[in-house]
Structure 1
């Protein structure tokens, strides 16, 4: 859940923060950067963090990142200089990059086959629940004081002790018995580049909701900030529920099939949102969209992990984290100019058309048998090619 706290929970504080720092030059721009700069830092820092995860180890990077998360995130409680708060947000981005990369890499190390799909689905599910919980809590604390949401970051302090006590990292030799793919010459999987492109594109599409939905709901239904927050929380709830069931879905359908379904759901959700001015249909579109988002990251992570040698997993998973947050950072910059000529509804319809196009291309794309069936092992990875029972694909 920590990763969902990086930016969203302080969003309700921005108007009051802007008033507090009104004497600072360009305060309106700098305050908005407080919200978005962690995503940029995550995108830039994740590849470096991924290298550290492979060279230094998963647990040391995770422990340091969780501790830094609490320190940097909570710094806004006491700092009274806008530039110092921005510096804290930059460090927060580094911490989130470390948390996401180290945890995902540990999951791929510790859980082979079907159990990996289940745990990565749980990871995605709890990220969704974090969106529901922390968006609501952040708004309540912001009503008390604009510094209030920064206190939530301090939950990472006791978590650091729990990481030290309970998180285990398999020894390198034990994690890779007889795996030739983990020699010094292990190759970066070609599949990664295609998945990176899909993750980047999907996050540009997904972030059209938090960046544009509040304005859209205001235009079509006069719904204010609290209503928009509840609507986004509804999408996060659908995301969480589907993510929790990803392991079961992965048992029955191949990685490419789930990827096709993911973009088809994104397309359907955006078309429903953009084709009408009726708020109930927009909410239905958000639920469909959330279902697609719930499949997105666990499927791509599981697919990629199944094809990646253990020695390169930190770097490869760091690339997924980088593309996720680069897409989130780029989305408002790419979509905002289009809202003028197209309107927000037109942008949503265009996103739906793009999602449908990607789904069709993926459906027609020929991939190897390993990509078409769940539980497949990477060349050079130690896990068996399938952990399913007889008679099940």
Structure 2
């Protein structure tokens, strides 16, 4: 029963960790409310969260070795809840929404790193791999619930979508009661005493870079879905919420399937993630319709749920206990950088294409992800034939 409570506490955090996606359901409404703002300025509502997430993931990785992780989790949850509720009451200036995103992002970055470290610390072997998959499933499942609720609330008024962040109160209660304050497996960190500070393995930085590039292409959907649906007259905020929910719902399936797919494909899981995501976006460019929007959402969700756990799995198998916390923080920082840089890079590249239309950003992402797919193929082949098993082999 105690183990069940610990898992429930960890998974309740995963359930709300992607709450920032609530903002994606009302980006078009925000654009209408602030007509003087540019496209990039509106997308920065999402991007500011990723910008704040970057230093938070690094700081959480460092503090994870010095401060009890339960307290880090509670701080992160309060940051997300307070930040998330701001636009529900203060929404007449874009700066308030930016401030909201910064607080949510800081909490999210701290939480993402700490959740992964907790799972790595408390679970081993097959159970650990299963927890990684369950975390991804709950992360996406939570996004489904929160975005559907946000879509319904936004029908009353777009700012009311942010009331969805009130769900975090439940997570705070569960974590306070069930997450242990002490380390359950102290023997794993016994070597820390008197040991020199371990550096993050170079292989972690490289896979982090690959995931960063994937997130640049992947984030196009969450950043543009609301604006695309509105410009094509395909629906309202509830339609956007459904599309985003389908994406995260597909991520639930991908999260549960990750352990089995990883056993078969190992490093090539990232290649599959890039190809599936690019394929969905290509269909959106070729056959623009609400049905294809939903299909692209599903492929994007599957791609994300397969790519991110790969890096976490790699860290758990290549990093030493002394390297674990800082390695996880560095890896999560790469995902934040990718998501934050996405609108800047994809929009800039899309601007180079003549006769641009509403689907140009998705076409740009298709090309970007196609190139990355080829790169991951060569990377997977090289690492699978490498003799340096301890550093580069991601699966036994």
TM-score (norm. length: structure 1): 0.81
Match of 1:151?
163
Distance 1:267 1:34 in 2: 24
1:52 paired with 2:63, answer yes
Quote the offset at 1:319 in angstroms: 2.1
Distance 1:200 1:286 in 2: 20
Quote the offset at 1:218 in angstroms: 5.5
Match of 2:11?
none
> Which residue of 9, 17, 31 corresponds with 1:3?
17
Alpha-carbon deviations, 1:77-112, whole Å to 9, x = none?
444774556444433322111111111111111122
Runs (5+) with no aligned partner, structure 2: 1-14
Match of 2:346?
335
Match of 1:123?
135
Structure 1 residues 84 and 217: CA distance shift in structure 2, 3 A = closer
Aligned residue-pair number: 369
1:201-216 equivalence runs, <5 A: 201-216=213-228
Quote the offset at 1:191 in angstroms: 0.9
Alpha-carbon deviations, 1:40-89, whole Å to 9, x = none?
11123221222111221322211222233223323444447745564444
Match of 1:265?
276
1:112 paired with 2:117, answer no
Whether the 8 Å contact between 1:117 and 1:250 is mirrored in structure 2 is: no
Match of 1:389?
none
Distance 1:29 1:268 in 2: 25
> Which residue of 183, 200, 210 corresponds with 1:170?
183
Structure 1 residues 88 and 363: CA distance shift in structure 2, 3 A = closer
SS class of match (1:306):
helix
Structure 1 residues 282 and 16: CA distance shift in structure 2, 3 A = closer
Runs (5+) with no aligned partner, structure 1: 377-393
Structure 1 residues 158 and 17: CA distance shift in structure 2, 3 A = farther
Alpha-carbon deviations, 1:95-150, whole Å to 9, x = none?
11111111111111112222222111111112212222222211211222444233
Quote the offset at 1:216 in angstroms: 4.3
Structure 1 residues 212 and 88: CA distance shift in structure 2, 3 A = closer
1:13-32 equivalence runs, <5 A: 15=29, 19=33
SS class of match (1:186):
coil
Structure 1 residues 356 and 78: CA distance shift in structure 2, 3 A = closer
Whether the 8 Å contact between 1:66 and 1:156 is mirrored in structure 2 is: yes
Match of 1:384?
none
Structure 1 residues 269 and 29: CA distance shift in structure 2, 3 A = closer
Alpha-carbon deviations, 1:302-357, whole Å to 9, x = none?
11222112223222222222222222222122222415625454543443333233
Structure 1 residues 206 and 28: CA distance shift in structure 2, 3 A = closer
> Which residue of 323, 331, 348 corresponds with 2:362?
348
Match of 2:244?
232
Whether the 8 Å contact between 1:43 and 1:322 is mirrored in structure 2 is: yes
> Which residue of 67, 90, 93 corresponds with 2:102?
90
Whether the 8 Å contact between 1:267 and 1:356 is mirrored in structure 2 is: yes
Quote the offset at 1:30 in angstroms: 7.4
Whether the 8 Å contact between 2:44 and 2:98 is mirrored in structure 1 is: yes
Distance 1:3 1:314 in 2: 18
SS class of match (2:287):
coil
